[in-house]
Amino acid sequence: MERRTFIQGLAALGVIGSLPLPLSQAFANTVTKPVSVDDLPKLKGDLTLYLGRGEGGLYENVLQAIQKNNPDFNLAIRRGPTAALANTIVAEAKAGVKRADLFWAVDSGAIGLVTDAGLAKPLPDDLSAQLQKQFKYKDWAPVTGRIRTLPFNTSRLTKDQIPTSIMEIADSDLSIGWAPAYASFQSFVTAMRILQGDDKTAKWLKKVKKRAKTYAGELGVVMGVERGEVDIGFANHYYTLRLKSGKPDANLDLAFTQNDAGCLVNASGILTLNNDPLATNFMRYLLSKEVQGYLAREAYEIPLVNGIAQPDGLPSLSSVSPPKIDLTQLADLRPTIDLMRSNGVL
């Protein structure tokens, strides 16, 4: 029997998503390639999603497409800053109220806040099976990733002049652009704290601060690098790809550090707050090859499901070496902010 026929048969019986565990596990073993929405069960019923804002509308397009494709599905959405929604979920749980069925966050640190509170439900094995090996978590599903990069000005530097260690950059003579107030930068510093310890991170911050020019956001950093205001910057990968898309002759390229916080892959992610099979099936849509491909193509985000092409202009994830780190640990932001403040960075 063709896999597609098999799944559609299950969907017709209304059993997919509520499979008994052994069968679900057996089924999971077959789902190692990206799944098409055509193979997924239709969504029927009501769900409430708390949606952390991101990519200014592309996530909305995904949600609209899912609803359009499922006329019997009604999705109520509460939107807001990711961290605020994570705090709301935890506060609502403490108050004995459960309003959200799902939480889609643009930042895995916010996911960590909710999972640490024990509110997220475990993922079924077939969902985990679709994700790349290093992005499998027990109770949440990374949806797409973004990698920390070193955008550099190509008229001033060649790639081999850039250190491949984030710690060595602090000792180089390169001028640097950074956006310390930016959430992704703070997640990166949190990763550095976890990997290198607070003392080394503090010394790194102090050294870089001496030669860094501060920008409000990371697109500003990348634009500053392109204009030649600084040699290199610290920024998520998609800013460079998008600037180059709008300005193909930009004096800009990407460099990567190796196996340290400088090439951290952070992720947006989704979790369910109840055991409703409908919520789990909704998550399957976000991991479908169509949604993953759309976010890679339109938002330059990194698909984390097996077998989906990377955005144009980005090397394959297997050719870069992000550090091994539990992304939910990035929720430990307070000590990072304190460290940045005590060293005069914020």
Partner 1 sequence: MNLFFKPAKTLGASLLIASAFIAQPVFANGPIGEHVNHLQANLKSYNEEVEWMVGKVDTLVSTYENKGAKAVNTDDLIEYWESVKFHSAIETNLVPVYASIWQGLYGVKMAIDGGKSAAEVRVQQTAMNNALWQGLGAVKLAAKFQQKGLLESVTATASKEMTQSATIDEIKHKLDRVIAKLAERLKDEATEIVHDTYLHLFEGVEGTLIEQDANLVEALEKNFNVTLPKAIADNKSVDEVRDVVTSMQTKLDRAKRLIEKAEKNRKDVF
Query: What DSSP assignment string belongs to 120-147?
Result: PPPPPHHHHHHB-GGG--SS-EEEEEEE
DSSP structure class, residue 268 = E
Cβ proximity to partner 1: between 138 and 227 the closer is 227
What tokens does 202 get? 């503090």
Select from 16, 35, 43, 62 the one that contacts partner 1 (CB under 8 A). Answer: 62
If one counts every other C-beta atom within 10 angstroms of the C-beta of residue 157, the result is 18
Chain residues 233-272 in contact with partner 1, contact rule CB under 8 A: 238-239, 242-243, 245-247
Asked if residue 290 lies in contact with residue 37, where contact means CB atoms within 8 angstroms, the answer is yes
What's the min distance (Å) between Cβ of 299 and partner 1? 7
User: Strand 176-178 relative to strand 232-233: parallel, antiparallel, unpaired?
Assistant: parallel
What's the min distance (Å) between Cβ of 285 and partner 1? 9
Helix axes 58-69, 289-299, angle to 10 degrees: 150
What tokens does 10 get? 């299950």
- Tell me, residue by residue from 305 to 334, as one string, x for binding to partner 1 by CB under 8 A and - for no binding: ------------------------------
Q: Is 129 left (phi over 0), alpha (psi -120 to 50) or beta?
A: alpha
- Choose the stretch contacting partner 1; rule: CB under 8 A; options: 8-16, 139-147, 296-304, 306-314: 296-304
Question: Which residues are registered as beta bridge partners of 267?
Answer: 145
If one counts every other C-beta atom within 10 angstroms of the C-beta of residue 149, the result is 27
Select from 74, 134, 275, 342 the one that contacts partner 1 (CB under 8 A). Answer: 74
Q: Is 217 near partner 1 (CB under 8 A)?
A: yes
- Tell me, residue by residue from 13 to 52, as one string, x for binding to partner 1 by CB under 8 A and - for no binding: ------------------------x--------xxx----
Select from 53, 207, 209, 211 the one that contacts partner 1 (CB under 8 A). Answer: 53
Which amino acid, residue 91?
A: A
Q: Is 343 near partner 1 (CB under 8 A)?
A: no
Chain residues 269-288 in contact with partner 1, contact rule CB under 8 A: 288
Select from 15, 28, 65, 346 the one that contacts partner 1 (CB under 8 A). Answer: 65
Helix axes 183-196, 108-116, angle to 10 degrees: 60
If one counts every other C-beta atom within 10 angstroms of the C-beta of residue 1, the result is 7
Q: Is 54 near partner 1 (CB under 8 A)?
A: yes
Select from 10, 24, 25, 80 the one that contacts partner 1 (CB under 8 A). Answer: 80
Q: Is 298 near partner 1 (CB under 8 A)?
A: yes
CA atoms of 212 and 170, how far apart (whole Å): 10
Give the binding site for partner 1 (CB under 8 A). 37, 46-48, 53-58, 60-62, 64-66, 69, 74, 76-81, 99, 181-182, 215-217, 219-220, 223, 238-239, 242-243, 245-247, 288, 290-291, 294, 297-300
